[in-house]
Structure formats: structure tokens, C-alpha cells
Amino acid sequence: MRIVISGYGKMGKEIEKVALERGHTISTTIDTDKDWESEQSAIINSDVVIDFSQPDTAVQNIKRCFNINKSVVVGTTGWYDELEKIENICLVKNQSLFVASNFSIGVNILFEMNKRLAAIMNSHPEYDVMIEETHHVHKKDAPSGTAITLGNQIIKNLARKSDISGAFVEKPYELMIKSFRIDEVPGTHIVNYSSEIDELELRHVAKSRRGFAVGAIMAAEWIIGKKGFFEMSDMLGF
């Protein structure tokens, strides 16, 4: 498989490493608008684009891929206010888009557990719930896309929560998400249910970026030959 990496930072380099280990070829790497122009031939002759760029460039990069009928796998977060619009464009134009707030297999198992636990907690109003996420100081968006996904799942499955707040909660229906940026932490997410008598936590700790890279490459392998809008739950069969 011939892969274009859009966003050649630490994550992009980890994706390159994993891709080569799995026998794939890196057609080119892209970091700027100029690169999209100068590397156009390499992009057109590739099989898939993997985008781990920046929130302010992700949407444009996706549209660029659609314009040349190129499958695209997107791990960039912080642009999801436009996700519904991009999904509609993908379907109308019969393109191939795979989006994940987190490509870690473990995190996506956490997502499934999170939905189930939230539904169970409908019968236990004595527990309040909050989310805590910690990442490296280079991460641009806060809360993380993963934390927002966890929060939206809780809101969908737990009747007493209907809105996401920041670090402070003023109303009982608000779900608190605390964000921390510390050193080079790859990513930690905690869902905490607390009552007067005990606490229950779902916790995922990434030990390195490799887990995200492996998941992204698996997604790129999986999307080849498919048309439509896809997420990790589609690939994993949840």
C-alpha cells in the first residue's frame, strides 16, 4: 500500500515507522499548503492519505483528498464542529473517509465499556460522573477529541447529563471534563463515577504513540476499496 502522511510531526513519524514495518511504502509526506501542490503527483498515485495535521487544516485536507478521489484516514481532532458537514459531502460525492478521535484499539474498547456503564448508571442516581484527560504540552485542542467522544457517549446514554462543561460545573445536568497538559504524556483518559460511599473508574493510559499509529495503519488497510464514512466501530465490528 502506498501511503501519504499529512502532518509529519511526532505522530506522523511514528505512523511512517509502523507502515514500513508492515511492508507499506510512504509515497510522500506533507506539512504545508505548498507541499500539497508540489507533491500532487505522488498523492494522486498513492492509495490512501493519513492525516494527523492540525485542527485548522484538517477540513481543507479532507476536501483536497475528495477532489482527487483519494481515500483519507483522519486522526486530527479539534475540527468536529464541521464533522457532520464533511460526512455529508463524503456521502454525496461517494468518497472514502475514516475518522477517529483515537485510533488506539484499547481506547475503542473503552468507548464500548463507557456506553454500557453510562446506561447502567441510569438506575443509580447517587453517582455523579466526570471525565479527566491528560496529554503532552504540544496538543492544540482541549478537551481532547477522545474526551469529547466519551462525554457525548455519556450524554447519549445517561439521562441526567445533557451538556458538557469545562473544568467547572454549575448545573447538575452538566458533565465536567478536566484537561491537563503535562510534559510528553501520550494520553490518559479517566471516566469517574463517585458517590458518598465509593468510586468507580474506567481508565486508559497510553504508554506511547505506537498504539495510535498501529490503529491508523490498520484503518488505512481496511478502508481500501470501500466507499463511505467510517469509524473505528465499523472496523472493529462493535
Catalytic positions? 135, 139
How far does Cα 148 stand from its chain's mean position? 10
Q: Can you tell me the distance from the alpha carbon of 92 to that of 164, in angstroms, rounded to the nearest whole number?
A: 31
Q: Can you tell me the distance from the alpha carbon of 26 to that of 28, in angstroms, rounded to the nearest whole number?
A: 6
Q: Which three three-digit cell numbers place residue 121? A: 448508571
Q: Beta-carbon neighbour count of residue 169 at 10 Å?
A: 16
Q: Can you tell me the distance from the alpha carbon of 5 to that of 185, in angstroms, rounded to the nearest whole number?
A: 23
Q: Residue 143, preceding bond cis, omega within 30 degrees?
A: yes
Q: Under a CB-based contact definition with an 8 Å cutoff, are residues 75 and 218 in contact? A: no
